[in-house]
Amino acid sequence: MNVRSPPKGHRETLSLSASAKQLAPQPRKSTVPLNTVLDSRARPVVVSRPRRIHAAGEVVSMAEILVLYYSRSGSTAELARQVCRGVESVPGATARLRTVAPVSAESEGRAQPVPASGAAYATLEDLRNTKGLVLGSPTRFGNMAAPLKYFLDGTSALWVSGALVGKPAGVFTSTKTMHGGQEATLLSMMIPLLHHGMYLVGLPYTERALNETRGGGTPYGASHVSGAQNSTALTEDEKALAQLLGRRVAELAMRLA
């Protein structure tokens, strides 16, 4: 059987065609991530949560927790600082410490735009941007103090928009006496948080300090017994429970982030 040879120059044509294909520009595969939003100029902007890179190279999402309190004698402020320590013991979590301005019957305005000392005054933006909230107040006849309630009464816009829905929250308080209304005060702070749709975080009895404390500490939240002259320092159990509260809120915020 005769096999016809290809016409002269045919092989050269095929070779040139293959070379041309190799030299021809190939379409580039898209490297734009699925979670990318394009702006009006079609430049890719990657949308992602703030992240912290640990020494081991692990990338962890950031969660800022707002620790918001009112304090007159300093006892509640010290509890707030212990809560912050607990928050920042959680990898990826940071604490933002804020207070509220005092109020009086004569004036609804602030005496100063910035407090003379201590934490800065909280704003609605602090609440809007937080991933979790820990709220603290001394007791006033078994209720939260007026300055904190005044601030919370002004959060209607956040309630309407649902800005706090699904975020974790905890509460803490300080009283002069053991039976000065700690649990009632903690419950009073929980009510507006429930209206905002937040997840309440308490303290479990699996924590040794909650079973052994001779001062403050409740399953509803952290607490301190300051004494009649507000001179009693936080006990080790009270510190441990305040830190635990901050840690539990931060851990839940990280899971929900």
Least confident of 56-65, 155-164, 200-209: 56-65
What are 32-44's pLDDT values in tens digits?
Answer: 444 444 343 444 3
pLDDT for residue 111: 57
**Does residue 46 register a pLDDT over 80?**
no
Mean pLDDT of 14-40: 46
Task: Give every CB contact of residue 201 below 8 A, 6+ residues apart in sequence.
Answer: 168, 169, 170, 245, 248, 249, 252
C-alpha separations of 250 from 23, 97, 134, 246, 257 in Å = 56, 14, 10, 6, 10
pLDDT averaged over the chain? Answer: 83
**Does residue 150 register a pLDDT over 60?**
yes
For residues 143 and 154, the answer to whether their CB atoms sit within 8 Å is: no
Domains of the chain: 63-101+113-256 (3.40.50.360)
Of residues 10 and 134, more confidently modeled: 134
pLDDT for residue 86: 98
How far is residue 257's CA from residue 16's CA, in Å, rounded to a whole number?
57
Residue written as token pair 């005769």: 2
Mean pLDDT of 115-130: 90
Is 232 in a helix, a strand, or coil?
A: coil
Least confident of 45-54, 115-124, 127-136, 162-171: 45-54
pLDDT for residue 8: 52
What are 67-106's pLDDT values in tens digits?
Answer: 999 998 899 999 999 999 999 999 999 999 999 999 877 6
pLDDT for residue 126: 96
- How many CB atoms are located within 10 Å of the residue 215 CB? 18
